Amino acid sequence: MSDVLDLCRKFELFLPNVELSLSEVIELDGCTKSLLNHFIKNPNTLNQRTLIKIQAIIDYMHEKINIGNWKDVKLYLRKTITISSYLKLLIYWKDPNNPMDDLLKESYKIIDFGLVFGCPIENELQLLQKCAGLLNPYSSDYVSEISTNTIKLKHNEVNVEPNKCNTVPVDVMDCPSMESFYTNRILKEKPVVLINCMNNWPALTKWNDQNYFLKMAGLRTVAVELGSKYTDSDWTQKLMTVEEFIKDHIYQSNGPKGYLAQYQLFDQIPELKADIIEPEYCCFAETENPIDVMAWYGPKGTVSPLHHDPKKNLLSQVVGEKQIYLFPPSDSKYLYPHDHELLSNTAKVDPREPNYEIYPEYRHAKAYYCKLKPGQMLFIPPKWWHFVESLSISFSVSFWWD
Amino acid sequence: MEYYVAGSNLFNQWFDDLDFFSEFRKMSKSEDPNFDFRLANLMQINWSYNIFQLRKNLYLLGAFDGRKIAKKIDIPEECRKSPLVAGNDYNLVIGHNNSSALWILNLEDNSIKNVYLDRELPLELSPKRNKTDNEIQKLVVNNFSCLYLTKGKNVYSGILPSYIDTSHCNGHIIDVACGYEHYMLLTSTGYVYTWGDGRRLQLGQDDTSNLETPTQVEALAGIKIIKIKAGGWHSMALSEFGDLYVWGLNDTGQLGIKESENDLKSYALPKLVDLYDDNEEVHLQIKDIACGSKHSVLLLEDGSVWTTGANKYGQLACPQYPNSKNFNKVCVIKEACRLKCGPWTTVVVCN
């Protein structure tokens, strides 16, 4: 009980900064603005009775942010979602009758919704992440661990020796100097496997134990891709907790394959960012754009079909192994890209078992191949085609920059 | 006039302490002694307030500034005879039947701006427009779009109205509707035209493309449509024979199609809706249709009211469902004559 009140007081400490942020949502309609103003200045009026009004603001803003293109959505609408999610969180913690486990589960749902649809407010940039951080010391008691036996069994599953015929191994460099990487790889746009460049990542040891993720993030909601690959018609995305993902998709595989792919996990859970180190090589940038850091976490057999991306990529392997086929941009004509506009950066050929009858030109393509092991990074130059398959339970982190 | 109301009362716009009505509630007197619902004409239901006309005044009930209000607004002298009014979260737009003038009242600072449909645009930009007859016949406004239909069958869009070329449309325009990001037109010959954003299939043109100009919904060709309505991201059309066609987003079951109740598939083309009462197909005529942002409502000739879609704020008038995936009969109001919806509200109007 005292934990609940204690946490509630800690959450309330953000109120002054949240009040300052009201100036960031000045474009809101008068009704919503004065409601927010009233609740922030009179936090004692936040109770079960007013919860529905806060929820209505969240729902109404959610309707509004669905109008138009996502990238054009006005920030004040998303900031209002952040602020209202925070107020909703306060209401739950103000009620001393709420049991701790319900509170934690509900709170993470509120926070993760706010993180997905909201955006940072200037006066308290990490408001919802900080709230989650305050909850974390309590949450591990409510997530059950996976037995070490299950973990051993799964991680020791035999890898099929991949088909490497007609491929050229990707060059390997042992912790090259900055100049050497810049001149020989970035400028020449050539892929390379980098070894001994991430030896000091805490993730290399910490992330081997999947129970670590359960402890750090078990109750957090993430968007998981379901289906063997994104070009399949039954491919879909589903929101689930990290606990559900690990237990139902990493350590069990009855249903469709689950893949936490291209996911901004480190913005959502900044504590995990402390386990990784942004490679210095990413400083060779042509723009001021921030580096996109994405998580790729899944069981054995996840596949990213042959595709290319517009940015430079350092794919850093933390847990398990992945095999990657690479093709230079000049090979596009041999790879049979999809016709549809949305899939034009994706090719139809499967380089593991190419069908020469349907794709006869493929025989002219020159495939580069590598098997990426924990602690190794692969530099993928922009526009280079790549096909990625996990050979075991795998966690990779990609750094995209331009 | 009698009003049966279900759905949002979050801002006390219906003078009651409940946050929402999960079943129809008959409105009679209000707390304000000067305001009797039975004498007032409901013009529009918005997210945070309702607009009524009572004699020479407009009443805004609810809380567009967050506080409980029953705000009285004098209708400009020129518009008193037959005022037209519509509003959104920021502005109230007032016009009237015999003029091309619009009064735009800013709800935050109460400033008023006058706009004239036929004076805002250089005429050479719109050579086909009927220049002589721009008296407003209908106006529809929401936060993101507004449309004005004139007696001369011209259509304008935007708070600073710009002319929409409808010269290619079959027949003259008799009705207009706006969703959150799409628009609809109905012509005297029963043709339906849509334009705007089509990403959620709300244009009924069999794809997700956006359209710049009103384009005929070809799948409805040969069917004479007499009523159109636009929800947030879905559309409805009623034929002269009382058949209902729906298309667009169906994420909360707002299309009410029984076949898709399991997968809540959205429809890129108009789909004929069948109604079932206890698995028995119903063959009564549909008298009126209406939709909120994510729900839809029908009134049948026998006075039965049918609802489907989102029910988070009680808008389906049927407390047992979280959302409903197909049309369900929720009650019978014999004297019901028409329907009116707000984003999260359903109202049955009786004379």
CB contact under 8 A, B293 and A63: yes
Residue by residue, DSSP assigns B49-64 as: EEEEEETTEEEEEE-T
Position A150 in a domain? no
**Average per-residue pLDDT for chain A:** 91
Does the CB of B222 have a partner CB in chain A at under 8 Å? no
Give the angle B243-B249-B252 at the CA atoms, nearest 5°: 95
Query: For residue A262, what are the domain limits?
Result: 167-401
CB contact under 8 A, A30 and B65: yes
In tens, the pLDDT along B174-211 reads: 999 999 999 999 999 999 999 999 999 999 999 888 99
Position A297 in a domain? yes
SS3 B34: coil
**Predicted-assembly ipTM surpassing the 0.90 threshold:** yes
Q: Is the pLDDT of residue B320 over 90?
A: no
- Choosing from A109, A142, A175, the residue where a domain stops is A142
Please report which residue ranges of A199-353 form alpha helices under DSSP H: 203-206, 211-217, 242-245, 265-268, 270-273
Residues of A in contact with B19 (CB under 8 A): 52-53
Residues of B in contact with A342 (CB under 8 A): none
Inter-chain Cβ pairs, chain A and chain B, closer than 8 A: 56
CATH number of the domain encompassing residue A278: 2.60.120.650
Report residue B288 as tokens.
């009126």
Contacts of A326 (CB under 8 A, 6+ apart): A170, A191, A367, A368, A369, A370, A380, A384, A385, A386, A387
Closest residue of chain A to B107, computed from CA coordinates: A30
A132 and A180 both lie in a single domain: no
- End-to-end CA distance of chain B: give it in Å, rounded: 5
A134 and A257 both lie in a single domain: no
What DSSP state is assigned to residue B334? T
Give the angle B63-B69-B75 at the CA atoms, nearest 5°: 100
In tens, the pLDDT along A280-308 reads: 999 888 888 999 999 999 999 999 999 99
Report residue A8 as tokens.
């509630």
The pLDDT of residue B127 is: 44
The Cα of A70 is separated from the nearest Cα of chain B by a number of Å equal to 12
The pLDDT of residue B289 is: 98
Does the CB of B343 have a partner CB in chain A at under 8 Å? yes
Residues in chain B: 351
Query: Is the distance from CB of B307 to CB of B346 less than 8 angstroms?
Result: yes
A135 and A271 both lie in a single domain: no
Position A101 in a domain? yes
Position A159 in a domain? no
A131 and A273 both lie in a single domain: no
- Total domains, chain A: 2
A348 and A388 both lie in a single domain: yes
A195 and A295 both lie in a single domain: yes
Q: Which residue has the higher pLDDT, B33 or A358?
A: A358
CB-side exposure of B315: number of CA atoms within 13 Å? 31
Q: For tokens 């925070």, what's the residue?
A: A86
Q: Which residue has the higher pLDDT, B161 or B44?
A: B44
- Choosing from A72, A107, A142, the residue where a domain stops is A142
SS3 B26: strand
A174 and A267 both lie in a single domain: yes
Q: What is the mean pLDDT of residues B120-145?
A: 65
Closest residue of chain B to A36, computed from CA coordinates: B66
Closest residue of chain A to B199, computed from CA coordinates: A68
What DSSP state is assigned to residue B142? -
Residue A293 Cα to chain centre, angstroms: 8
Band of the pLDDT at B46, cuts 50, 70, 90? very high
Candidates B8, B45, B48: best to mutate against A (most CBs of A within 10 A) is: B48
Q: For tokens 């103003």, what's the residue?
A: A37
A122 and A271 both lie in a single domain: no
Long-range contacts of residues B35-41, Cβ cutoff 8 Å, at least 24 apart? B35/B59, B35/B61, B35/B70, B37/B1, B37/B2, B37/B3, B38/B1, B38/B2, B39/B1, B40/B1, B41/B1
pTM of the model: 0.88
Q: Is the pLDDT of residue B123 over 50?
A: no
Instruction: For residue B176, give Cα distances in angstroms to B96, B119, B168, B208, B288.
Output: 16, 22, 16, 21, 16
CB contact under 8 A, B197 and A35: no
Report residue A298 as tokens.
């899944």
Rounded CA separation A29/B327 (Å): 33
A226 and A98 both lie in a single domain: no
CB contact under 8 A, A53 and B10: yes
Q: What is the mean pLDDT of residues B83-102?
A: 86
Position A244 in a domain? yes
Q: For tokens 């109202």, what's the residue?
A: B347
CB contact under 8 A, A64 and B143: yes
Please report which residue ranges of A21-171 form alpha helices under DSSP H: 30-41, 48-65, 75-94, 100-117, 127-139, 148-155
Q: What is the mean pLDDT of residues A99-121?
A: 94
Position A154 in a domain? no
**Average per-residue pLDDT for chain B:** 88
Does the CB of B148 have a partner CB in chain A at under 8 Å? no
Position A152 in a domain? no
Q: In what order do the strands lie in the sheet with A367-372?
A: A167-169, A367-372, A322-327, A385-390, A303-307
A219 and A308 both lie in a single domain: yes
Band of the pLDDT at A153, cuts 50, 70, 90? low
CB contact under 8 A, A29 and B48: yes
Position A157 in a domain? no
SS3 A340: coil
- Choosing from A78, A109, A142, the residue where a domain stops is A142
Query: Is the distance from CB of A392 to CB of A295 less than 8 angstroms?
Result: no
A207 and A125 both lie in a single domain: no
SS3 A89: helix
CB contact under 8 A, B107 and A35: no
A105 and A208 both lie in a single domain: no
